[in-house]
A and B are shown apart, each in its own frame.
Chain A
Amino acid sequence: MTAVMVDGLIKRYGGLRAVDGVSFEVDDGEVFALLGPNGAGKTTTVEILEGFRGRDGGQVRVLGMDPADPANGQRLREGMGVVLQELAVEPFLTVRQALRRNAGYYPRPRPVDEVLALVGLEAKADSRIKNLSGGQQRRLDLGLGIIGNPSLLFLDEPTTGFDPTARRGAWDLVRALTGGGTTVILTTHYMDEAEALADRVAVINSGRIVAEGTPQSLGGRDVGETRIRFGLPPGRQVSDLPVAASSVTASSGRTGTSGGTGASGGTGASGSGGQVEIRSDRPVEVLAALTTWALREGVDLAGLTVERLTLEDVYLRLTGYRSGPGELAAVSAEGDSTR
């Protein structure tokens, strides 16, 4: 069963298309992350799903309902829970009072004591909200998001501004909450957060979805390029390398292209300041050629590392990040990172 269906969604602000043809589906019980830089259109998309904003085009179904239809508003809001970026509770109420008040808005709320236990605030139940620590307030926020026993939970950048320990705690909590089969739509600009929590990720940039998949396979991560790095041996040129010889452009520019058709197939290599980086989708062949060459020449490949693209690499490439001068990797995706 599909919890959320979005097809060709468009939202304009003046002349700007903040959301420009976004489509995705989220199944029941799935944790779906919308990943993207600030201003990419994440929040606007989520606000349209929540029924908070209207849309200018496309189809949207949330829990089987069109959120733009006011006739659905009540039933939609009874079925969803929302955790916003900032704590939004009257500071003078106690934790229990705030939960009790919000529980009354829903037809089938979770018991207040159950939610207190879930978010670990039993000991603080009768404390004023203003006296809670930042992390405790955040946990209350999550508690308020689930008090209505929602079948769909929106988490809007749930750990922005957290220290690493608090983030792990929040993730554990989200996992515990979602273990019960709640569908979750998460927005974040943290790669590790999407990797830790999401079943599926969509990267959104300039109002468009530029990639979608599991965190493990996003952007061809599982089958795509491997990055091989090492220091150029003393006295050797980039052109001496067996791989680079067939793949580096004649200029000594920093940017390698993958125009080569030699033994290593689609391979890009670049060297700068003695460091060489090679990206290849056939790492075994490249390494064999490189190490054979090094042994024969009697040189060392200092600091040799072999790694898959991280989710962050994929993300940066998809969102059009261009590295500054002096950096090795120059990656680009179609379109600019216009804000």
Chain B
Amino acid sequence: MTAVVEPRRSAASYGRMIARQLYFEQLNFWLNPLAAVFTLGFSVVFLVLLGSSAGNSTSSTLGGVRVIQYYVPGFLAYGVMSTCFNSLATSLVVRREMGLLKRLRLSPLPTSAMLAAICANALVISFIQIVVLLLIGRLGYGVHMPHNVGALVVALAVGAAAFTAIGMAMSTLIPNQEAAGPVVSIVFFVLLFLSGLWYPIKPHSGLAQISSYFPIRHMIVAVFAPFDSRPGVSGWAWGDVGALAIWGVVAAVVAARRWSWAPRRTGGGPSRPATRRWRG
């Protein structure tokens, strides 16, 4: 044991630590090709299926716009949500219950760096999907690109951050890894249905009202707006971006308050699930 005082960690070395951890997160993701293909391929397959069946039909709800013009931004939103919410929440529950989070927590890797790398990993995977979906839309279906790129970047970035927080919060509500996949998927797909991913829903309709209480509808609208080329549409859907931001902040608070590094049901000790919380 030495009494050497460790030098204070510089921002650069902290950044390198996150980058290194992100490298291993990516390695772990790509070394499981089946999971990687399914995570990335789901949105692509859906876009191609829907595009092939409804390609050139138009939607009166959207003022005569081709339906595929709606599906491309819809699946951009879907890709980000499925990665940052669905995959992240499931994998966090599995990691927590396997003891992976506890083990990392007991290593010198700062927990903030660990969580930053996990979130960055979700963002990298989201970004890959965004690029692939835009290419398919452009080259396969002749979809025009967003007229307001800034608004698209803001919508995707705020949405990704918000759904990352929601995914982390969701992971704290699920008791065990067997439940993780089904619970997350049911919540996600029901809300996707209500929120008009599969077909455009009329603004101000009852369904639109109900789904506006949930974040998914706002994500789809915010990502669609920059593609909406109807006259007088700016591409900025500030109300929806704001709603996403509020969801993100609330979810982050829930995640921080309920966060647990330790498995909830396994392991020794007399502690009960309700007390197995570690605040950090």
Contacts and interface: CB of A to CB of B under 8 A. Distances in A.
B270 A52 contact: no
Contact of A52 (B9, B261, B268, B272): B261
B27 interface: yes
Contacts of B109: 105
Nearest to B271: A13
Contacts of B28: 90, 92-93
A77 B106 contact: yes
Given A52-B278, A93-B24, A93-B31, A18 B271 contact: yes
Contact of B110 (A1, A63, A74, A104): A74
A129 to B, nearest CB: 10
A185 interface: no
Interface stretch (A42-50, A192-200, A210-218, A298-306): A42-50
B266 interface: yes
B20 interface: yes
Contacts, number: 100
Contact of B105 (A52, A89, A92, A102): A52
A43 B106 contact: no
A106 interface: yes
A13 B108 contact: no
A107 interface: yes
- Could you tell me the dominant secondary structure of chain B's interface residues? loop
In this complex, the member of A18, A53, A86 whose beta carbon has the largest number of chain B beta carbons within 10 angstroms is A86
Interface in B234-280: 261-262, 266-272, 275, 278
Interface stretch (B48-56, B94-102, B196-204): B94-102
A317 interface: no
A28 B31 CA distance: 41
A92 B110 contact: no
A85 B106 CA distance: 14
A97 B27 contact: yes
B161 to A, nearest CB: 25
Contacts of A8: none
A15 B27 CA distance: 46
- Could you tell me the dominant secondary structure of chain A's interface residues? loop
Given A106-B108, A151-B1, A18 B269 contact: yes
Contacts of A14: 272, 275
Given A18-B269, A43-B268, A92-B28, A74 B108 contact: yes
A39 interface: yes
Q: How large is the interface on B (under 10, 10 to 19, 20 to 34, 35 or more residues)?
A: 20 to 34
B107 interface: yes
A328 to B, nearest CB: 31
B6 A339 contact: no
In this complex, the member of A3, A104, A156, A157 whose beta carbon has the largest number of chain B beta carbons within 10 angstroms is A104
A169 interface: no
Interface string A133-151: 0000000000010001001
B279 to A, nearest CB: 9
Given A88-B99, A89-B100, A41 B24 contact: no
A52 B279 CA distance: 10
B270 A39 contact: yes
Interface string B187-220: 0000000000000000000000000000000000
A101 interface: yes
Given A52-B106, A84-B99, A84-B103, 9 more contacts: A1-B1, A3-B1, A14-B275, A43-B268, A53-B278, A75-B6, A85-B99, A86-B99, A104-B20
21 contacts: A13-B272, A39-B269, A42-B268, A44-B269, A44-B271, A52-B278, A85-B99, A85-B267, A87-B99, A88-B98, A89-B100, A90-B100, A93-B28, A93-B31, A105-B108, A106-B107, A107-B108, A128-B31, A144-B103, A148-B108, A156-B268
Interface of B: 1, 3, 6, 9, 20-21, 24, 27-28, 31-32, 98-100, 102-103, 105-110, 261-262, 266-272, 275, 278
